Amino acid sequence: MAILSDVATEVLIPLAAVVGIAFSIAQWVLVARVKLAPSPPGASRSKDGYGDSLIEEEEGLNDHNVVAKCAEIQNAITEGATSFLFTEYQYVGVFMSIFAVVIFLFLGSVEGFSTKSHPCTYSKDKECKPALFNALFSTVSFLLGAITSVVSGFLGMKIATYANARTTLEARKGVGKAFITAFRSGSVMGFLLASNGLLVLYIAINLFKMYYGDDWEGLFESITGYGLGGSSMALFGRVGGGIYTKAADVGADLVGKVERNIPEDDPRNPAVIADNVGDNVGDIAGMGSDLFGSYAESSCAALVVASISSFGVNHDLTGMLYPLLVSSMGIIVCLITTLFATDFFEIKAVKEIEPSLKKQLIISTALMTVGIALVSWLALPYKFTIFNFGEQKEVTNWGLFLCVSIGLWAGLIIGYVTEYYTSNAYSPVQDVADACRTGAATNVIFGLALGYKSVIIPIFAIALGIYVSFTIAAMYGIAVAALGMLSTIATGLSIDAYGPISDNAGGIAEMAGMSHRIRERTDALDAAGNTTAAIGKGFAIGSAALVSLALFGAFVSRAGVKVVDVLSPKVIIGLVVGAMLPYWFSAMTMKSVGSAALKMVEEVRRQFNTIPGLMEGTGKPDYANCVKISTDASIKQMIPPGALVMLTPLIVGTLFGVQTLSGVLAGALVSGVQVAISASNTGGAWDNAKKYIEAGASEHARSLGPKGSDCHKAAVIGDTIGDPLKDTSGPSLNILIKLMAVESLVFAPFFATHGGLLFKLF
């Protein structure tokens, strides 16, 4: 028996979620204390740190105008982001409704829409609830997951647009103040998302239990719809947001920097508002939905396998909810970790920013290891059995602790390897920057080589994690290893969201005409955010690999596939086609960014050529037109890649059956992870090679600069090529591999009963 009682479990999980939500509200209140209104003349400055002397006062600039301008720019960015997301959600809402009907019809038809109980899939001697009700509850959980995902992304965007100008204003007092504002805002999103995801899942399980009673097999099978809903929304958020942000970014960079030689975020550039809106809809809303999807799926994969293991068979609620207890512990650990950045240590110099962010990852991982040990000791019996492809495998509680820990530490290794390959503090990015001496072509060659090379260590880390966790606890081991990697999601998201907020803050400083010293501070915040964003993408891809493998295992078990034989022609064709899908998907997303950027470049050129006095700063650019181009292009272009991912499992499973579908999932997983890591890291390296030249912080960097030199122009071209790789194709691919696996799992009963129509005909 476990030490922790069922009642204690039922109290601790929602309590942790509520504490997380309360903490995020407290952080938001602190950010809100930074006022976006100029202080009245002669007002005495308070001594609480919110009224330190400002650079403007030292330099005799007009404080009133600066604050008003910041507020105006912030409003423009917020309006652009809100209207885009509302438009996107209208389209996605239609899709959601149609897909919900598809889920109900497909799953309901498994038993011919019968309302009679039927023998359980795994325990034939027991009666399980009718397939029609399984279909109904799967549909409800799909809608719940979708709505939670959408709300997570939207709230994240609202918080980021609320905080960007406040970070700019705090930068007038010092880099430490600006860092704390940006980081606190990021943690609002991180904790809100992690806590909401946990709370909604917990409530759904308890509500469904009222109907299912002792039928835990049916209960947790219908809960998998939650993961499918979360990830399908994330796909559209990531692809749509990614196309939006990169079309604006590429357009602004190519015409502004390369052709017109004006600085980044210059208010004369017509695409500058669209570019800043893009940071919020792509990097914040898209990423929030993406990581929520990973979290929901890894929880669902673990719960499905547990429900047919001894936890489910013996109705051991505490053991059954072990994945949720790990996530609850994660929220508390991340809460303590956040205080290290905002309250325990103060940042006083620019060089302390990046180490402080990296310390967050190490502290959270170290504390979480202790937390997992505690949860494993309290919540699990010493010995229990785990379902392993038709038989039960005996596992100990310390074995499961090892599985979760290996996922947690593999995530840290992947994060740090990603950082080594994408930060300009190390030789790989400096070599890419050096290659700019001979033009854009050598820069591109070096960047591609770096991306391919950066795949090696993460893949070994994932492979080791898979081998150890599978050996100890079969597919359940892999599912909890994925959960381990995502257990510190609140800290990971805080760091991730911090990047775009700092980026926006720099853009606002430039557009509001603030002094060079403020721009230097926001640039330092942004540079650290760039590296940590790359680390976040590494985490997302690594966890996606483990999650999709766990879902794959659950799918194979549920569909009744005893063994996936690689020598069988049905499986081989699936493998080959599956391995091709990430390339097809990447081609679609890259081309979408290219065609949207083409329109943007033409529009920006048109405005520079036709608006009198625009270059001189006397004419006003038409920002709204550029925002409209990005919105229209991304909404239109996100449909085909989304349809490819959502329809593939349905078509393959229905026409070719579960064996071929198993091959497709395995092929997509194997090739998708490699393409995603190399694309993300190549793009990140090109971006930071450009920033390395721009900053001119070392003798080597100064020999390549300054801005506007041939070397710098070559670096900008590399960065522009890398934009869609690191912010559209790369991050979207991890959703492709997860989403196809979770969709196959949800539809597994249908495929097992009615799938393989073509092979039945011939």
In a domain, 83, yes or no: yes
C-alpha separations of 299 from 177, 223, 482 in Å? 37, 10, 9
Model confidence at 351, pLDDT cuts 50, 70, 90, reads: confident
Closest CA relative to residue 216, chosen from 324, 128, 144: 128
**Whole-number Å distance between alpha carbons of 402 and 297:** 21
Q: Is residue 45 assigned to a domain?
A: no
**Contact in structure between 199 and 17 (CB atoms under 8 Å):** yes
The Cα 48–Cα 396 span in angstroms is 52
Residue 394 placed within a domain:
yes
Q: Is the pLDDT of residue 446 over 90?
A: yes
More confident residue, 354 or 447: 447
Tell whether 41 is covered by a domain.
Answer: no
Asked if residue 493 is part of any domain, the answer here is: yes
Q: Quick one: average pLDDT of 48-62?
A: 49
**Omega of the bond leading into 706 within 30 degrees of 0 (cis):** yes
| Mean pLDDT over each residue of the chain, to the nearest integer | 89
C-alpha to C-alpha distance for 447 and 419, rounded to whole angstroms: 15
- Kindly state the DSSP code that residue 119 receives in the 8-state scheme: E
pLDDT at 60: 43
How many distinct structural domains can be found in the chain?
A: 1
Cα–Cα nearest to 626, from 247, 157, 164 = 247
At 476, list the tokens. Answer: 């359940």
Summarised one tens digit per residue, pLDDT across range 531-567 is: 777 777 788 888 889 989 999 988 988 888 888 899 9
**Longest CA span, the chain:** 88
Question: Residues for the chain: how many in total?
Answer: 762
Strand, helix or coil at 291?
A: helix
DSSP per-residue letters across 576-627? HHHHHHHHHHHHHHHHHHHHHHHHHHHHHHHHHHHSTTTTTT-S---HHHHH
Q: Please, is 719 exposed, middle or buried when counting C-beta atoms within 10 Å of its C-beta (0-12, 13-18, 19+)? A: buried
pLDDT at 518 over 50: yes
Asked if residue 201 belongs to a domain, the reply is yes
- Asked whether residue 473 is assigned to any structural domain, the reply reads yes
Structure tokens at 84: 């885009």
pLDDT greater than 70 at residue 596: yes
The per-residue pLDDT for 400 is 94
Could you please report the per-residue DSSP string of 16-63? HHHHHHHHHHHHHHHHHTS-SSPPPTTPPPPSSSSSPPPHHHHHT--H
Radius of gyration of the chain (CA): 26
The three-state (H, E, C) secondary structure of 503-546, written as one string? HHHHHHHHHCCCCHHHHHHHHHHHHHHHHHHHHHHHHHHHHHHH
Domain assignment present for 50: no
Per-residue pLDDT tens over the stretch 313-327? 888 889 899 999 999
* Residue matched to tokens 């994240």: 156
Residue 52 pLDDT more than 60?
no
- Could you list the residue range(s) of the whole structural domain that residue 181 is in? 6-36+74-759
Rounded distance between C-alpha atoms, residue 279 and residue 530, angstroms: 12
Q: Give the CA distances from residue 516 to residues 329, 506, 683, in Å, rounded to whole numbers and listed in that order.
A: 44, 11, 28
Give 405 or 69, the one with higher predicted confidence. Answer: 405
* Cα(493)–Cα(129) distance, integer angstroms: 39
- Given a contact cutoff of 8 angstroms between Cβ atoms, the answer to whether 295 and 197 are in contact is yes
What contacts 569, CB < 8 A, 6 or more positions away? Answer: none
Per residue in 65-122, pLDDT (tens digit) is 888 889 889 999 999 999 999 999 999 999 999 999 999 999 999 888 888 887 777 7
Question: Pick from 599, 680, 582, 673: which is nearest to 637 by CA?
Answer: 599
